[in-house]
Amino acid sequence: MAKKFCCPKGHECPSLEHVFRTLKLSDSDVLNVYMVGSHMWGTCGSHSDWDLVIVLKTLQTAKPLNTHKANIEAFILSQEQFVQSIADHLMQVLIVLWLPKGCVWVERFDPRSSFKLDRVALAKALEHSRYRDLRVAEKHFSKGDRQKAKKVLLHCLRYLELGAQ
């Protein structure tokens, strides 16, 4: 029987089988799957998409993929790209080191084994994340979508708070 996941607000998560089928991934290629975004933060609604970080053994592209299919938004990386993103303190990846167990759907490779805190890299990554998030929030405000803008700003503030710790 497939393992069932749910977000902190109780929304039933898609099954791994559904995620892999939707994204055309093979279970044997997948190392790690993490639930991030609004379902992780608890700011999701019943129609929120599912934000995932997915680590594959290998990836045929030089850069990680951002893909959105159906209600799944995935940041897909190779194991090598994943390790480098952690070394670079890329916040959307670095956060997986401290996720609650319910947000760790698959972890066949332990990312904590290679992590070393670099305060300069962390500050640089936080600044990049802040800049990007403020631009996205501004775009949502200008389109009149205050709720999405507030959600992006809330996530941005949480990243900054985590970095300050």
Distance (Å, whole) CA 90 – CA 133 = 13
Round to the nearest angstrom and report the end-to-end CA distance of the chain: 40
Distances (CA, A) of 71 to 9, 15, 50, 51: 17, 12, 6, 9
Q: How confident is the model at residue 16 (pLDDT cuts 50, 70, 90)?
A: very high
Q: What is the pLDDT of residues 104-140, one digit of tens each?
A: 999 999 999 889 989 898 888 888 888 888 999 999 9
User: Roughly what angle, to the nearest 10 degrees, separates helices 146-164 and 119-142?
Assistant: 170
pTM of the model: 0.82
Closest CA to 128 of 88, 164, 87, 98: 88
Between 157 and 106, the more confident residue is 106
Asked if 39 and 99 touch (Cβ cutoff 8 Å), the reply is no
